[in-house]
Amino acid sequence: MGTITYGFSDTPFGEIIVAATKKGVCDLRFLEYNKLETIHDLGQRWGVYTPITLDNEMAEMVASVVFGGKRRKLTVDLRSTDFQIAVWKAVRAIPFGQTATYQDMARAAGNEKAARAAATAVAQNPVSLLIPCHRVVRGDGDTGDYRWGRDLKRKLLKWEAETVAAQPKNGMATDLTQLIDIHCSNVPLVEELSQDMFKGDLDGLF
C-alpha cells in the first residue's frame, strides 16, 4: 500500500493543507474545520495511499510557490474523467490576474455547450490555487460561488490584480501558468512519495 504525505502552511488568506503522492500534489484546500477532521476527510478521500505521513516543509514549499513568487515547477496528480481533466487544464492556463467564464472553460475543453458540466468540474477541482478555480467567474461578470466563500474568492482576485499592477512589465514572478504540470493517474498508485514530484527550480459553482 502506498503513502500520501500531507502538511499545513499559513498563507495570507488562511491556513491550507497540501497532500501529495509520489506523482505530485493531489489535494490542496483551505482548512474548513479543525485539523483532525480535515486529516480524517483526507484519509477517506485518498485512503488507497494510507498510511498518511506529516511533512509541513512540503506544504510550506508549495505555499511559497503560490504566494511567495518562488520559481519551482510542480506536478499535480489528478484522477477524473477526460472532460474534467480538460477543464482543469484550461483553468490552469488562465493567467495570473485575469479571469475567464465557465463557458470559456467548456469551450477550451472541447464542448462549448457544456458550461454547467464545466462549472461542476471547476467546483470539484482538488488542488485549488495550483489549478486556480477562483479565476473562473460567471458570464454576467459576477464572481460566482467558491467552496470557501465568495468573500475569499474576491480577496484572491483583488490580490492578484494588485500584484499584477505592482509588477514590472517584464513578467509575473507569481504566475504559475507555465509552472504546473498535470499528471493523470486514473489507476491507484502504490509508489512511495519521493522528491520526483518537484521538478527543478523553474518550476467554484454558478
Question: Does the predicted TM-score (pTM) go above 0.75?
Answer: yes
Indicate the pLDDT class of residue 185, thresholds 50, 70 and 90: low
Region 44-71: mean pLDDT is: 82
Is 133 in the active site? yes
Helix H segments across 109-199? Answer: 115-123, 150-166
Share of the chain above pLDDT 70, in %: 78
CATH 1.10.10.10 fits 78-166, yes or no: yes
Supply the pLDDT for residue 188: 34
The CATH label, of 3.30.160, 2.60.40, 1.10.3470, 3.40.50, for the domain at 4-71+185-197 is 3.30.160
Whether the pLDDT of residue 94 is over 80: the answer is: yes
C-beta of residue 96 within 8 angstroms of C-beta of residue 175: yes
Supply the pLDDT for residue 166: 85
In this structure, the number of other CB atoms found within 10 A of the CB of residue 142 comes to: 10
User: Which residue has cell 487544464?
Assistant: 89
Indicate the pLDDT class of residue 4, thresholds 50, 70 and 90: confident
Distance CA 23, CA 12 (A): 27
Of the residues 118, 133, 179, 197, only one is catalytic, namely 133
| CA 156 to chain CA centroid, nearest Å | 13
In the chain, where the domains are located = 4-71+185-197, 78-166
Indicate the pLDDT class of residue 80, thresholds 50, 70 and 90: confident
Distance CA 39, CA 154 (A): 27
Whether the domain at 4-71+185-197 and the domain at 78-166 fall into the same CATH topology? no
Whether the pLDDT of residue 79 is over 70: the answer is: yes
Number of DSSP helices (H) and strands (E) in the chain, helices first: 6, 8
